[in-house]
């Protein structure tokens, strides 16, 4: 029997539902989170109008627990998913994301890795909207917010890669006057390729490539990008001793401030298109 | 001696007998020289460099235990391939990378080290595995799938169904609600993140994320209400509930606490059906004997079994005593009865939990007061949303929002209680002797209180 008490409870629940369903999670700012996934990369970009871009997924399934708290309930969608390259510390976390979220577009280099977990991942995404990223492509996400691809400079699909790091999809995320440099695990060799193109690379925020390895983040590219702020995605006590002291020195010499996921956990950067600021947790 | 006293005594003697048998190591005797068993090939210790690798085939006989960065699969071996080809048997617990995921019933070929299980500090990991008949661990494993669906076809169907439900859950809700619903409805307790599990532990409410008597009772109550409303006669009711409870016990991964609760629930229903009431302590001992006849090692090495029985003992014997102590509590909205039953279960399990986890949660009775009333609603809305998701996903998403908010409320409560500075304190130096003394103390107080009553 439905008593009056139960009925009123039901109505209250219904009202809450309608309310929450209508209004939630709007900020009209660009929000970029460098997610602490341990030793690995993962970056979530939330656009001012509620679009989601995810770059890489870290080395294990822990990312899914982090994403749950960053996404709104209703919006179970990733508009662009970027896999920089086929190393486990970049794609394992994406597997659970691909299984659960509605993915609109996947950007990748198309270069193969030959192991069973990557085959599993490839099999999962084979029917999704896949696109090979290439220098010169631009993806307009919203007015004023776009992704500019800088690497690979030529089609790599089907090629046998000597070093998968040098197949990293590298891009600039640009929101009006604020640019983010996001280049996966690209090494100095790949950086030199980009420099040859003679493009304007100037960016305010620089994600240190390859978790701060000294074989990436070379002086010429730093001098061209001229960032104010570098973010290093590396795990506590990782077995590669990333970031390398030499990289830290290169950044410090140029007066670039450094934020590290292993020291600060998740790092949120907000921007209104004219300036950016670090969101205190 | 009445019949019931006799039966109770026999049951008690059986359990005492098991304790004796275990003391003399009679319950798990393993012949490590038996060449037809996989454990004959075990290496000792974790210096992998010098160990040989073996290749063997087998069938996965339990749903994989999936963690955030690896999975563990229980493989019943059938054939050794390298260094020689021959028939072999015995179970191996294989640690392998997270992907690709394996399934119950997969036939696999594995190349790995084989390591003898050892205790980890205080924890008898070897014995813990022995209760599941595992005497070999595989590390550095390379797993190749040969064929699927090679195990029990009925279990296969149920486990596939379970996995399918779990996928629906993961699509409806974001984390951590998804893993929470997976825990309370499907028994996937390992899906939750370590941080969240730690919060539940500190608040003293981690029992709600393990399917236990609480959940089974709620389901049985709900079922009998539905069946009653449908005007189905009692005999049929019993068999329907029996079937559903059995499926649920399997769905929830066959944990000792689920089986305990299901068997007890069935005995109660059965006794009601034949119109005779069986005393509570008899139901308890019958259930224990039934489970221990199937696997005696659970008594010693399965924490879920131990906690489940201790909590039930607390509910049966201690709650009448605490009823007098906590008379002053308001009797509104079942505050008094919820508090008394949580408190009784907590007191009875406390010595064991302190011994196992080296910590005591001081605010547990209060936390339970807030959290327990939410559980039936969360189970109900979870269930309804999942059901809806098979008909219309948008509807499920809408209904699921209520579950989402309620779970957020629950997490908020748990988080707040667990972050209070003195919500839990660490206790070191609590050994088996202290634990035994604590239980003797509880028994003495019980007898004293009981005598005062009569």
- Find the chain B residues whose C-beta atoms sit closer than 8 A to any C-beta of A: 68-69, 97-100, 167, 170-171, 173-179, 193, 196, 397-398, 401-402, 404-405
Is the pLDDT at B208 greater than 70? The verdict is yes
For the segment A76-94, the average pLDDT, to the nearest whole number, is 95
CB–CB contact A20 B171 (8 Å): no
DSSP string covering B323-388: HHHTTTS--GGGHHHHHHHHHHHHHHHHHHHHHHHSEEETTHHHHHHHHTTHHHHHHHHHHHHHHH
B148: left (phi over 0), alpha (psi -120 to 50) or beta: beta
Q: What is the DSSP letter of A56?
A: -
Residue B189 has pLDDT above 60, yes or no: yes
Residues of B in contact with A95 (CB under 8 A): 98-99
pLDDT band per the 50, 70, 90 thresholds, residue A24:
low
Q: Which residues of B touch A120 (CB under 8 A)?
A: 99-100
pLDDT of A57: 95
Give every CB contact of residue A15 below 8 A, 6+ residues apart in sequence.
Answer: none
Could you read off the pLDDT of B254-281 as tens digits, one per residue? 777 888 888 887 887 777 777 777 788 8
Identify all chain B residues contacting A92, using CB atoms and an 8 Å cutoff: 98-99
What integer best gives the mean pLDDT of chain B? Answer: 87
pTM of the model as a whole: 0.88
Question: pLDDT tens for residues B137-163?
Answer: 999 999 999 999 999 998 899 889 999
pLDDT in tens, B290-323: 989 988 888 888 888 898 889 888 888 888 888 8
Q: Do B174 and A67 touch (CB under 8 A)?
A: yes
Q: For B402, which of A13, A61, A116 is closest by C-beta distance?
A: A13
Which residues, 6+ apart, have CB-to-CB distance to B407 below 8 Å?
B173, B176, B177, B180, B181, B378
Residue with structure tokens 């206790």? B427
d(CA B81, CA B294): 33
pLDDT band at B382 (very low <50, low <70, confident <90, very high): very high
pLDDT of residue B252: 76
Does residue B105 surpass a pLDDT of 60? yes
Alpha-carbon gap, residue B264 to B284, rounded angstroms: 7
CA distance A72 to chain B (A): 8
Q: From B69, which residue of chain A is nearest by alpha-carbon distance?
A: A60
In this complex, which of A17, A68, A76 lies closest to B176 when CB atoms are compared?
A68
Mapped onto helix, strand or coil, the DSSP state of residue B454 is: coil
Report whether pLDDT(A233) > 90: yes
Cβ under 8 Å to B: A residues 175-194 = none
pLDDT for res A21:
66
Torsion, Cα B28 B32 B36 B37, to 10 degrees, reads: 60
Helix (H) or strand (E) holding B91: strand B91-96
pLDDT in tens, B391-414: 999 889 888 988 998 999 999 999
Q: In the predicted model, what is the mean pLDDT of residues A130-154? A: 94
Q: Is B317 left (phi over 0), alpha (psi -120 to 50) or beta?
A: alpha
- Tell whether the model's pLDDT for residue A1 goes beyond 60: no
Give backbone dihedrals phi and psi of B360, rounded to 5 degrees, phi first: -125, 130
> For chain A, what is the mean pLDDT?
91
Q: Do B401 and A17 touch (CB under 8 A)?
A: yes
**pLDDT for res A2:** 59
Strands A77-78 and A102-103: parallel
Q: What is the ipTM of this complex?
A: 0.88
CB contact under 8 A, A100 and B397: no
Rounded to 5°, the CA angle B56-B58-B62 comes to 140
**B68/A95 Cβ within 8 A:** no
**Residue A175 near residue A273 (C-beta atoms within 8 A):** yes
Q: Which of A13, A74, A116 sits opposite B100 (nearest CB)?
A: A116
User: Burial level of B428, CB count in 10 A (0-12/13-18/19+)?
Assistant: exposed
Alpha helix ranges (H) inside chain A: 4-22, 63-70, 88-100, 116-125, 188-196, 219-225, 245-253, 261-264
- Contact (CB, 8 A) for A153 and A193: yes
Q: What is the pLDDT of residue B280?
A: 81
With an 8 Å Cβ cutoff, are A60 and B100 in contact? no
**Which residues of A fall within a CB distance of 8 Å from B177?**
68
Residue B190 DSSP code? G
* CA angle A22–A25–A29, rounded 5-degree value: 130
- Of B14-23, B77-86, B230-239, which one has max mean pLDDT? B77-86
A-chain CB neighbours of B167 within 8 Å are 99
Count how many residues are written for chain A: 281
Verify whether the Cβ–Cβ distance B100 to A61 is below 8 Å: no
Which of B69, B71, B99 should we substitute to test contact with A (largest number of A Cβ atoms within 10 Å)? B99
Model confidence at B216, in pLDDT bands (50, 70, 90)?
A: confident
Q: Which two tokens stand for residue B73?
A: 């699969």
Q: Which residues in chain B are contacts of A20 at CB distance < 8 A?
A: 401, 405
| B401–A21 CB contact, under 8 Å | yes
- The residue in chain A having the minimum alpha-carbon distance to the alpha carbon of residue B402 is A17
DSSP3 helix / strand / coil % (chain A, rounded to 5): 30, 25, 45
Q: In this predicted structure, what is the pLDDT of residue A56? A: 96
Higher-confidence position of B68 and A35: A35
Chain A residue with the nearest C-alpha to that of B196: A65
Other Cβ atoms closer than 10 A to B33: 7
For A42, the token pair is 């993962």
Q: Which residue of B has its CA nearest to A64?
A: B175
A138 contacts A147 by C-beta, under 8 angstroms: yes
Two tokens, residue B201? 């532990």
Residues of chain A with Cβ-Cβ distance to B401 below 8 Å are 17, 20-21, 73
Q: Do A20 and B401 touch (CB under 8 A)?
A: yes
Q: What is the pLDDT of residues B322-345, one digit of tens each?
A: 888 887 878 776 788 888 888 888
Beta-bridged to residue A229, according to DSSP, are: A205, A257
pLDDT at B54: 92
* Mean pLDDT lowest among A62-76, A260-274, B77-91: A62-76
Residue A115 pLDDT > 90: no
- Classify B431 as helix, strand or coil: coil
Of A258-267, B21-30, B343-352, least confident by mean pLDDT is: B21-30
The angle that helices A88-100 and A116-125 make with each other, rounded to 10 degrees, is 40
User: Which one has a higher pLDDT value, A129 or A162?
Assistant: A129
The contacts of residue A247 (CB under 8 Å, 6+ apart) are A208, A212, A213, A214, A216, A217
For residue B24, pLDDT over 60 is answered with: yes
**Using a CB-CB distance cutoff of 8 angstroms, which residues of chain B are in contact with residue A117?**
97-100
Nearest to A68 among B99, B174, B401 (CB): B174
Contact B397 A74 (CB under 8 A): yes
Instruction: Give the integer Cα–Cα distance in Å for A268 and B436.
Output: 51
Q: Which two tokens stand for residue B190?
A: 């390992």
* Per-residue pLDDT band at A281 (split at 50, 70, 90): low
What count of CB pairs under 8 Å joins A to B? Answer: 65
Distance CA B160, CA A168 (A): 38
Q: Does A19 touch chain B (CB under 8 A)?
A: no
């Amino acid at each position: 029997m439905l008593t009056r008490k139960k009925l009123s409870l039901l109505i209250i629940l219904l009202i809450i539902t309608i309310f929450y369903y209508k209004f939630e999670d709007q900020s009209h700012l660009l929000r970029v989170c460098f997610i602490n996934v341990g030793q690995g990369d993962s970056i979530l970009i939330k656009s001012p109008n509620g679009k989601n871009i995810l770059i890489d997924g870290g080395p294990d399934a822990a990312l899914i627990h982090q994403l749950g708290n960053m996404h709104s309930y209703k919006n179970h969608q990733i508009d662009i998913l970027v896999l920089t390259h086929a190393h486990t510390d970049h794609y394992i976390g994406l597997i659970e994301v691909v299984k659960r979220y509605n993915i609109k577009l996947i950007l990748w280099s198309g270069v193969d890795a030959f192991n069973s977990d990557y085959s599993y991942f490839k099999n999962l995404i084979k029917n999704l909207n896949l696109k090979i990223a290439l220098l010169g492509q631009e993806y307009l996400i919203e007015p004023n917010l776009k992704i500019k691809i800088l690497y690979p400079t030529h089609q790599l699909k089907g090629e046998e890669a000597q070093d998968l790091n040098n197949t990293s999809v590298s891009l600039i995320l640009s929101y009006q006057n604020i640019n983010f440099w996001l280049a996966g695990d690209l090494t100095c060799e790949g950086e030199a390729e980009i420099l040859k193109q003679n493009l304007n690379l100037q960016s305010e925020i620089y994600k240190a490539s390859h978790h701060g390895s000294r074989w990436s983040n070379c002086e010429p590219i730093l001098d061209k990008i001229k960032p104010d702020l570098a973010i290093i995605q590396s795990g506590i006590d990782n077995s590669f001793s990333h970031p390398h002291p030499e990289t830290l020195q290169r950044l410090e010499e140029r007066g670039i401030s450094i934020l590290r996921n292993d020291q600060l956990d998740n790092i949120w950067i907000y921007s209104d298109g004219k300036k950016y600021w670090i969101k205190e947790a | 001696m009445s019949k019931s006293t006799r039966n109770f005594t026999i049951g008690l003697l059986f359990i005492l007998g098991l304790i004796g048998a275990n003391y003399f190591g009679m319950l798990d005797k393993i012949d490590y020289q038996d060449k037809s068993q996989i454990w004959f090939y075990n290496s000792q210790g974790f210096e992998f460099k010098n160990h040989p690798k073996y290749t063997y085939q087998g069938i996965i006989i339990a749903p994989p235990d999936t963690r955030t960065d690896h999975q563990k699969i229980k493989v019943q071996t059938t054939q050794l391939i390298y260094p020689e080809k021959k028939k072999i048997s015995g179970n191996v617990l294989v640690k392998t990378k997270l992907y690709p995921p394996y399934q119950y019933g997969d036939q696999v070929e594995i190349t790995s080290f084989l390591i003898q299980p050892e205790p980890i500090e205080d924890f008898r990991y070897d014995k813990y595995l022995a209760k599941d008949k595992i005497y070999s661990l595989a590390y550095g494993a390379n797993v190749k799938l040969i064929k699927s669906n090679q195990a029990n076809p009925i279990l296969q169907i149920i486990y596939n169904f379970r996995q399918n439900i779990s996928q629906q859950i993961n699509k409806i809700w974001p984390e951590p609600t998804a893993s929470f619903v997976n825990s309370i409805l499907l028994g996937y307790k390992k899906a939750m993140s370590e941080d969240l599990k730690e919060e539940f532990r500190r608040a003293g409410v981690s029992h709600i994320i393990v399917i236990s008597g609480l959940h089974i009772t709620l389901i049985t109550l709900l079922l009998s209400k539905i069946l009653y409303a449908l005007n189905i006669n009692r005999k049929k009711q019993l068999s329907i509930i029996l079937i559903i409870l059995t499926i649920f016990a399997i769905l929830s991964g066959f944990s000792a606490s689920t089986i305990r609760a299901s068997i007890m629930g069935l005995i109660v229903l059965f006794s009601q059906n034949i119109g005779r009431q069986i005393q509570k302590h008899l139901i308890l001992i019958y259930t224990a004997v039934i489970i221990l006849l199937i696997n005696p090692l659970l008594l010693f090495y399965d924490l879920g079994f131990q906690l489940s029985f201790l909590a039930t003992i607390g509910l049966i014997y201690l709650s009448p005593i605490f009823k007098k102590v906590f008379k002053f509590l308001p009797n509104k909205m079942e505050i008094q009865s919820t508090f008394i039953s949580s408190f009784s279960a907590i007191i009875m399990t406390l010595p064991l939990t302190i011994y196992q986890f080296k910590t005591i949660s001081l605010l547990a009775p209060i936390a339970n007061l807030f959290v327990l009333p939410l559980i039936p609603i969360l189970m109900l809305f979870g269930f309804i949303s999942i059901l809806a998701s098979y008909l219309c996903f948008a509807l499920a998403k809408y209904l699921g929002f209520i579950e989402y908010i309620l779970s957020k409320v629950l997490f908020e409560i748990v988080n707040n209680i667990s972050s209070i500075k003195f919500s839990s304190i660490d206790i070191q130096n609590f050994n088996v002797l202290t634990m035994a003394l604590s239980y003797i103390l509880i028994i003495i107080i019980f007898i004293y209180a009981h005598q005062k009553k009569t």
